[in-house]
């Protein structure tokens, strides 16, 4: 049973601005753990349910597990499975590849991929949003993460959720695999 939820609610006026609130299930009640915090989403906002497509610049709507944290540090304080990013790590976005929407090591036969060790620092720490991962369907979107935002939140993502580094570090430390954390993209838990 899910006992940790991260809720992402898009802003009414700005297509790529949103709010994050995190919840703990405790003694029969959902209690706020952190937030509301400002976040940014895809440059074209939130895709309708089952409408996300590769390269559309939208963040997928829906409910997805959070299982893996990542970062450049050797170790990170988190209750999720942690994977250190190296220069050989890539996330495949080539829809024709057998490794589509998978984290693999170079060399790869994929025609296109995203480097997980980026020079702009947005992937210095983050978590994988398990969107289109089980099963993987080519073309429905890849590499959907929670990561560090660019330019203090003034720039959108290509489809991920991004927030400031300090708050992201706090969020990753709060998440625990045994609580089956889940992210809700686009639909509020409470009105």
pLDDT the model gives residue 158: 97
pLDDT the model gives residue 191: 39
User: DSSP assignment, residue 141?
Assistant: -
pLDDT the model gives residue 190: 47
How crowded is the C-beta side of 157, counted as CA atoms within 13 Å?
A: 24
Tokens for 127, please give them. Answer: 């978590």
3-state helix, strand, coil in the chain (%, to 5): 10, 40, 50
Tokens for 87, please give them. Answer: 């220069």
Residue 190 is assigned to a structural domain of this protein: no
Residue 85 is assigned to a structural domain of this protein: yes
- Report the C-alpha gap between 79 and 65 in whole angstroms: 14
Q: Residue 174's Cα: distance from chain center in Å? A: 15
Contact 94, 111 (CB under 8 A): yes
Count of domains observed in the chain = 1
3-state secondary structure of 133: coil
Residue 9 is assigned to a structural domain of this protein: yes
Contact 132, 141 (CB under 8 A): yes
- Report the C-alpha gap between 58 and 122 in whole angstroms: 18
Residue 180 is assigned to a structural domain of this protein: yes
Residue 42 is assigned to a structural domain of this protein: yes
Contact 94, 81 (CB under 8 A): no
93 class by beta-carbon count within 10 Å (0-12 exposed, 13-18 middle, 19+ buried) = buried
Length of the chain: 191
Residue-wise pLDDT tens digits, 156-179: 999 999 999 999 999 999 999 999
- Report the C-alpha gap between 162 and 141 in whole angstroms: 17
- Report the C-alpha gap between 3 and 70 in whole angstroms: 22
Residue 11 is assigned to a structural domain of this protein: yes
Contact 70, 175 (CB under 8 A): no
pLDDT the model gives residue 188: 53
The series of mean pLDDT values per 10 residues for the chain, 191 residues long, is: 96 90 96 97 95 98 98 97 97 98 97 96 97 97 98 96 98 98 80 39
Q: Which domain holds residue 112?
A: 4-185
pLDDT the model gives residue 14: 80
């Amino acid at each position: 049973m899910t006992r940790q939820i991260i809720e992402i609610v898009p802003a009414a006026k700005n297509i790529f601005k949103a709010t994050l609130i995190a919840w703990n299930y405790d003694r029969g009640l959902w209690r706020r753990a952190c937030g509301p915090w400002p976040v940014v989403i895809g440059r074209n906002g939130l895709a309708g349910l089952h409408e996300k497509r590769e390269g559309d610049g939208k963040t997928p709507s829906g409910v997805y597990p959070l299982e893996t944290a990542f970062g450049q540090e050797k170790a990170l304080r988190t209750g999720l499975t942690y994977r250190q990013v190296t220069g050989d790590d890539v996330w495949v976005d080539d829809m024709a590849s057998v490794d589509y929407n998978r984290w693999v090591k170079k060399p790869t036969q994929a025609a296109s991929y995203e480097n997980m060790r980026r020079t702009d620092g947005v992937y210095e720490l983050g978590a994988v949003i398990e969107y289109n991962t089980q099963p993987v369907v080519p073309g429905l979107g890849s590499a959907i993460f929670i990561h560090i935002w660019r330019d203090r939140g003034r720039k959108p993502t290509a489809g991920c959720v991004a927030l400031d580094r300090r708050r992201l570090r706090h969020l990753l430390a709060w998440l625990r695999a045994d609580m089956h954390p889940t992210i809700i993209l686009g639909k509020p838990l409470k009105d």
